[in-house]
Amino acid sequence: MNIGNEAQFQIYQMRLTGQYRDEALCISVEDWVARAREVLSPEAFWYLAGASGRGETMRANEEAFAKWRIVPRVFRDVSDRDLSLELFGERLPYPVLLAPIGVQSILHADGEVAAARGAAKLGLPYIVSSASTMSLETIAEKAPGATLWFQLYWSRDRDVAQSFVRRAEAAGCKALVVTLDTPMMAWRERDLERAYLPFLLGEGLGNYVSDPAFRAKLRRSPEEDPAGAILLWTQIFGNPGLTWDDLEWLREETDLPLLLKGILHPDDAEEAFRRGADGIIVSNHGGRQVDGAVASLDALVAIRERVGREKVVLMDGGVRRGSDVVKAMALGATAVLVGRLYGYGLAVDGERGVETVLRYLLADFDLTMALSGHRSLSALDANALAHS
Ligand SMILES: Cc1cc2nc3c(=O)[nH]c(=O)nc-3n(C[C@H](O)[C@H](O)[C@H](O)COP(=O)(O)O)c2cc1C
Ligand SMILES: O=C(O)C(=O)c1ccccc1
């Protein structure tokens, strides 16, 4: 059965067999957000839900989807859908990946392991953040079925950056994502009001304190002197001095598919491919960095037009429902990443929450595809849409 019909059936089945548990079942995105808000401290909730500045870009990300409407087609035999795609030689069941989110222990005690396992239940790749609570190796070990990618915060310290790349390869990651929009944190008013930074609590350093190159820079071990490790981290985490020429070093450092995340300008998109990137992720970091930045979906349209049809162009920002995925795909995304959405699932119910919130997103996507007259991703293009 297709995932959409199956999920509907399951929900009604629960009611029929008396297993429907009101407190365990969120359906809409708004339900997940509201429940997450109940279970999380204000600091943790706003860490996840917040943005930079006025939140203009975060809102624009969602509103950009509303500027487009789907124009459904009929008489197209949609009884069986195949929404899979091939990406870097691997088949993905759906064009959806889990975006890197740092310090997931803030959201749930089982943190990244729960999220990676939830993703694995649906066969979706999980992108491990450089700033994960648990080390990449721990996540790989405890979520054995998961397809992992690694997100690199390119450290100012080249030994650490290089060591992270080696570890991503050794842990079996399928791709390397380099995030370029966060060499420093933006002006995040909610976090600043509370003087809240996870790292000050020693959280989010899982990949650093376990790293031989990082440890070699410390006079005393992180176990003996946690404050020393935090201090070093603040000094080497970001690297605002990077330029396009540095990419050559990283490109030679690894044979993994290399994606640049945080691209918004068509000129940068073009340059990325010219310099040997295998893909880009059109993203404004969920509106957490440059407030007032262009919405991801709008940037996607301009970038796809520039780089042509063949290049791998992923996008994230504002993907909340099935129709959003349909629209992004129709506008030229190779696949989309979801960020906060699975964060809410993780907060509400750990592994099961992540699996459920993703299952519902995919169910909605599948049903929207079917009802719009699309049986596969290949036939989906801007012809399927109209401006609202
Ligand atoms: C709480 C939180 C933490 C994040 N941490 C990272 C990170 O460590 N590395 C990274 O590249 N992006 C990070 N991001 C950005 C996401 O990968 C993604 O670009 C964004 O969440 C997409 O927007 P959405 O939340 O609207 O789906 C983070 C986002 C959130 C919400
Ligand atoms: O909050 C973020 O958006 C983010 O990218 C991040 C980076 C390092 C640690 C935690 C989150």
Q: What does the pLDDT look like over 97-133, one tens digit per residue?
A: 999 999 999 999 999 999 999 999 999 999 999 999 9
Provide the strand spans (E) within 112-156: 126-128, 148-152
CB 61 within 8 A of CB 297: yes
Centroid of ligand 1 to alpha carbon of 76 (angstroms): 37
Side-chain half-sphere CA neighbours of 150 within 13 A: 27
For ligand 1, whether the C-beta of 263 sits within 6 Å is no
Residue 107 Cα: closest atom of ligand 1: 1
Position 15 pLDDT exceeds 90: no
**What residue has token string 């300008």?**
265
Rounded to the nearest angstrom, the distance between the alpha carbon of 8 and the centre of ligand 2 is: 35
The predicted pLDDT at position 192 comes to 84
pLDDT of res. 189: 83
Per-residue pLDDT averaged across 170-186, rounded?
97
Question: Hey, which residues does 19 pair with through a beta bridge?
Answer: none
Tens digit of pLDDT for each residue in 281-338?
999 999 999 999 999 999 999 999 999 999 999 999 999 999 999 999 999 999 999 9
Residue with tokens 């598919």: 257
Render pLDDT for 206-249 as a digit per residue (tens, 0 to 9). Answer: 999 999 999 999 999 999 999 999 999 999 999 999 999 999 99
Q: What is the pTM of this model?
A: 0.98
What is the pLDDT at residue 24? 64
Higher pLDDT, 363 or 20: 363
Question: What is the percent of the chain where pLDDT is above 70?
Answer: 99
Backbone φ and ψ for 226, nearest 5 degrees, come out as -60, -35
Atom 7 of ligand 2, nearest CA residue: 102
Is residue 22 predicted with pLDDT exceeding 70? no
Asked whether the predicted pLDDT for residue 200 surpasses 90, the reply is: no
Q: Is 131 in the pocket of ligand 1 (CB under 6 A)?
A: yes
For residue 277, how many C-alpha atoms fall within 13 Å in the half-sphere facing its CB?
28
Q: Which residues contact 139 (CB under 8 A, 6 or more apart)?
A: 112, 113, 116, 128, 132, 146, 148
pLDDT at 155 over 90: yes
285 in ligand 2 pocket by Cβ < 6 Å? yes
The protein residue with its alpha carbon nearest to ligand 1, atom 12, reads 100
Going from the Cα of 359 to the center of ligand 2, the distance in angstroms, rounded, reads: 25
Mutate which of 340, 342, 357 for ligand 1 pocket (most atoms within 8 A of beta carbon): 340
- The reported pLDDT for the residue numbered 159 is 98
- The residue nearest atom 3 of ligand 2, judged by CA position, is 288
Mean pLDDT, the chain, whole residue set: 96
198 pLDDT more than 80: no
**Are the CB atoms for 209 and 229 separated by under 8 Å?**
yes
Is 285 annotated as catalytic? yes
pLDDT in tens, 239-291: 999 999 999 999 999 999 999 999 999 999 999 999 999 999 999 999 999 99
The dihedral formed by the CA atoms of 103, 196, 347 and 358, expressed in degrees to the nearest 10:
-60
Atom of ligand 2 nearest to the CA of 188: 1
Identify the pLDDT of residue 40: 97
Q: What percent of the chain has pLDDT over 90?
A: 91
Give the Å distances, CA to CA, from 287 to 57, 84, 151, 171, 196. Answer: 5, 29, 18, 30, 18
d(CA 151, CA 285): 13
| Ligand 2 geometric centre to CA of 355 (Å) | 23
Q: Assess whether the C-beta atom of 204 lies below 6 angstroms from ligand 1.
A: no
For tokens 């842990």, name the residue. 171
Instruction: Pick the closest to residue 134 from 198, 206, 203, 200 (CA basis).
Output: 206
Is pLDDT at 23 greater than 70 in this prediction? Answer: no
Does the beta carbon of 182 lie inside 6 Å of ligand 2? yes
